[in-house]
A and B are shown apart, each in its own frame.
Chain A
């Protein structure tokens, strides 16, 4: 703790100095990597046999196990794993270290939606010269597009969260519903039946959970954000398609058929365990998470794909997941790349991430491995949940982008949409407010808004 505080202090002070340099016009020139030569096998061999120290920032628990595999393969490389916080605190420290010009790790975990904000200030290393583009076929298409929307490859996919529907089979059948709702219309009708006959909400919409709502947008084919990797963004959170999704939820909430408790909070955990909610529309990391949260309901849950907007369709969105990226400031770029690659590409390492840490894999090899997909889960009445989500993973829209300032996007979601959901107001109207704020922030920050 003390050590961390000191590091932060150092980062702050050095950050201050570097801002000073920026002010006086000594900004480091932006690197132009397009002319960079591909790295040869000789270079790689040399780098991997030279004693090297790497730092790896991640919050994946027990990732030391996978790192140990890497170190066993490359004894010359010594990796230090540091957990500097999960989510926001992690990015804040990363930004401070980058700004300070020292103290940043070689390899870092990054959630997909935050990649653009680090591309923006040239903090990430383009991995193409190191051979990353050869890996594109190893991952499901849409996950690869998340780390490589254009030619450069910014990170290696680690885990993903294609969305599905977890539901209480007992509560639904008590209400006379034997099949999971296939369309959103069915879902709304089922919500009413379930509420009337059992008193449970069919599921809960996390009032301030932007990730879930954006996942629904993703499924509905809404393209709310775009970023060209340079200075142009486009913001479209209040498009007609987005409003269709918003109105759907508004109506369910106003009829009191969906609860709007804040998710991942005490009340919500209680609700999942007590049957207040008869389901959870969540991502592929949800099944295991739920298992740990609602132990008392073993065997009562089932998993299904998300309801569809059009009968007969089969599409999904994504919520969550991360990748491992190499920072441009790393002094051991080749070794750092090999680490990021190994963790998420080596068969044993990827398999262990999926079966021991329960990260839902983007790797095609794992998704097709019987040892993974044929697992039967007692919590879900013996259902092959991994197989289901592996199938769903094939149905995620491949072309979804983010803005280079997602921190702000999420925090304004809380203030604009979150309050409206809590007050049972009109979410579609709130989308307009959100849109205005996102556009004016982009303009203030000097982006060209399309």
Chain B
């Protein structure tokens, strides 16, 4: 999606060569390559591109219960941009992203570093335990947390009452976003940890040895070698988290069953789109919302990536590696 300036800018301009006819052998090879790619492209086209184009097409119409469909141009998009429910839902997931993602990734990084330092005993078992929540389907996880959060019977509330803290209202309108952040963190911290841990394992050991000879401790090692070295992996988890946050759906839609007053129909953009399509029966408007959401995710991802790369370049420049 975004071209990477770090890669393209430094590439020397290739000299212009006179065009030569391709040899028959090469042409055959090329044909075979395309044949091998064909199955992917067939699925890609029919399962992704066609539905995408179709929903783009849908989003340009207006369908009414009385009077049927009429071409509406960009009216659905204009409506979405002034729809306070949609903008509110974007704001909510934006907030979710800003608060939850740093906590989750920070925790994941800490755990990955701890496991990698090989100081913790039974690190294999710990690794598996932390990863387990990811194997629990989001639906089950949400139902489970819904029970834990329960006001009268939930174990957390019971303990809180027993020690005289009163009843925490995890499912009230003010707290539900935080409760959801907790669920998502619990679910995905292990997943992100595994990505970072895998990246850590691939750092050549010579680097550590060199640093240790220079007298670096574990923290210095983590800060100056490990974290910079796995920056691409961290970037990857950030991008995944952006997409995950903006596409929150299962959690609000399931928590809605136990806290319907706290979760509005437009709690998150995806949930809003779903409700518009299947409850309000405005498929076309839902298509427009989906497209706008995709656009927002693309833009946010692009800028976050850009910021990451700039930091990297600044960092390298400071150390005199780049001009």
> What is the interface of chain A, defined by CB distance below 8 A to chain B?
16, 19, 22-23, 27, 88, 92, 95, 120-121, 207-208, 231, 262, 265-267, 270-271, 276, 404-405, 407-408, 411-412, 414-415, 418-419, 421-423, 441, 444-447
User: Are A411 and B153 interface neighbours, CB within 8 A?
Assistant: no
Main secondary structure of the interface of A (DSSP, over half): helix
User: Are B262 and A422 interface neighbours, CB within 8 A?
Assistant: yes
Within 8 A of A (CB), among B142-186: 146-147, 150-153, 173
Known: A411-B265, A411-B275, A447-B66. 19 other contacts (CB 8 A): A16-B54, A19-B58, A88-B279, A95-B281, A207-B261, A208-B260, A265-B257, A265-B258, A271-B152, A404-B65, A405-B65, A414-B260, A415-B264, A419-B264, A422-B262, A423-B173, A444-B64, A446-B66, A447-B65
User: Are B279 and A446 interface neighbours, CB within 8 A?
Assistant: no
Knowing A262-B259, A262-B260, say if A445 contacts B152 (CB, 8 Å). Answer: no
The distance in angstroms between the C-alpha atoms of A207 and B258, with both chains bound, is 11
The distance in angstroms between the C-alpha atoms of A405 and B65, with both chains bound, is 9
Neighbouring A residues of B54 by C-beta, 8 Å:
16
Smallest beta-carbon distance B64→chain A, Å? 4
* Set B173, B278, B281: member contacting A422, Cβ < 8 A: B173
User: Are A208 and B279 interface neighbours, CB within 8 A?
Assistant: no
Knowing A267-B150, A270-B153, A411-B279, say if A418 contacts B261 (CB, 8 Å). Answer: yes
> What is the interface of chain B, defined by CB distance below 8 A to chain A?
54, 58, 61, 63-69, 146-147, 150-153, 173, 257-262, 264-265, 275, 278-281, 283
User: Are A407 and B281 interface neighbours, CB within 8 A?
Assistant: yes
Q: Which residue of B lies closest to A23 (CB)?
A: B69
* Set A22, A262, A267, A407: member contacting B153, Cβ < 8 A: A267
Neighbouring B residues of A446 by C-beta, 8 Å:
64-67
Neighbouring B residues of A422 by C-beta, 8 Å:
173, 261-262
The distance in angstroms between the C-alpha atoms of A190 and B59, with both chains bound, is 55
Neighbouring A residues of B258 by C-beta, 8 Å:
262, 265-267
Knowing A208-B261, A262-B261, A419-B173, say if A92 contacts B65 (CB, 8 Å). Answer: no
User: Are A414 and B261 interface neighbours, CB within 8 A?
Assistant: yes
Knowing A27-B68, A231-B66, A445-B65, say if A405 contacts B260 (CB, 8 Å). Answer: no
Smallest beta-carbon distance A307→chain B, Å? 25
* Set B150, B261, B275: member contacting A266, Cβ < 8 A: B150
Smallest beta-carbon distance A25→chain B, Å? 9
Neighbouring B residues of A92 by C-beta, 8 Å:
278
Neighbouring A residues of B68 by C-beta, 8 Å:
22, 27
* Set A271, A408, A445: member contacting B279, Cβ < 8 A: A408
Knowing A16-B54, A265-B258, say if A415 contacts B265 (CB, 8 Å). Answer: yes
* Set B67, B265, B280: member contacting A414, Cβ < 8 A: B265
Q: Which residue of A lies closest to B153 (CB)?
A: A270
The distance in angstroms between the C-alpha atoms of A70 and B66, with both chains bound, is 38
Q: Which residue of B lies closest to A420 (CB)?
A: B261
The distance in angstroms between the C-alpha atoms of A445 and B319, with both chains bound, is 63
The distance in angstroms between the C-alpha atoms of A418 and B264, with both chains bound, is 10
| Chain A-chain B contacts (Cβ-Cβ < 8 Å), number | 83
- Of A27, A88, A267, the most chain B CB neighbours within 10 A belong to A267
12 sample A-B contacts, Cβ–Cβ < 8 Å, listed by A number = A16-B54, A19-B58, A207-B260, A404-B65, A408-B279, A411-B265, A414-B265, A415-B265, A419-B261, A421-B261, A445-B66, A447-B66
Smallest beta-carbon distance A95→chain B, Å? 8
- Of A262, A270, A447, the most chain B CB neighbours within 10 A belong to A262
User: Are A22 and B260 interface neighbours, CB within 8 A?
Assistant: no
User: Are A270 and B152 interface neighbours, CB within 8 A?
Assistant: yes
The distance in angstroms between the C-alpha atoms of A445 and B284, with both chains bound, is 13
The distance in angstroms between the C-alpha atoms of A27 and B69, with both chains bound, is 10
The distance in angstroms between the C-alpha atoms of A447 and B67, with both chains bound, is 9
User: Are A22 and B69 interface neighbours, CB within 8 A?
Assistant: yes
Q: Which residue of B lies closest to A417 (CB)?
A: B261
Smallest beta-carbon distance A116→chain B, Å? 11
* Closest A-B pairs by Cβ, 7 of them: A446-B66, A422-B261, A208-B260, A446-B64, A445-B65, A446-B67, A418-B261
Q: Which residue of B lies closest to A444 (CB)?
A: B64
The distance in angstroms between the C-alpha atoms of A262 and B259, with both chains bound, is 7
Neighbouring B residues of A120 by C-beta, 8 Å:
65
The distance in angstroms between the C-alpha atoms of A276 and B151, with both chains bound, is 13
User: Are A23 and B279 interface neighbours, CB within 8 A?
Assistant: no
The distance in angstroms between the C-alpha atoms of A208 and B262, with both chains bound, is 10
- Of A121, A271, A414, the most chain B CB neighbours within 10 A belong to A414
Q: Which residue of A lies closest to B70 (CB)?
A: A23
Q: Which residue of A lies closest to B283 (CB)?
A: A19
User: Are A267 and B261 interface neighbours, CB within 8 A?
Assistant: no
The distance in angstroms between the C-alpha atoms of A422 and B173, with both chains bound, is 9
Smallest beta-carbon distance B296→chain A, Å? 23
The distance in angstroms between the C-alpha atoms of A92 and B279, with both chains bound, is 8
- Of A95, A270, A271, A445, the most chain B CB neighbours within 10 A belong to A445
The distance in angstroms between the C-alpha atoms of A333 and B264, with both chains bound, is 41
Neighbouring A residues of B69 by C-beta, 8 Å:
19, 22-23
The distance in angstroms between the C-alpha atoms of A165 and B45, with both chains bound, is 59
- Of B63, B67, B173, B279, the most chain A CB neighbours within 10 A belong to B279
Neighbouring A residues of B64 by C-beta, 8 Å:
444-446
Neighbouring B residues of A267 by C-beta, 8 Å:
150-153, 258
The distance in angstroms between the C-alpha atoms of A445 and B65, with both chains bound, is 5
The distance in angstroms between the C-alpha atoms of A418 and B261, with both chains bound, is 5
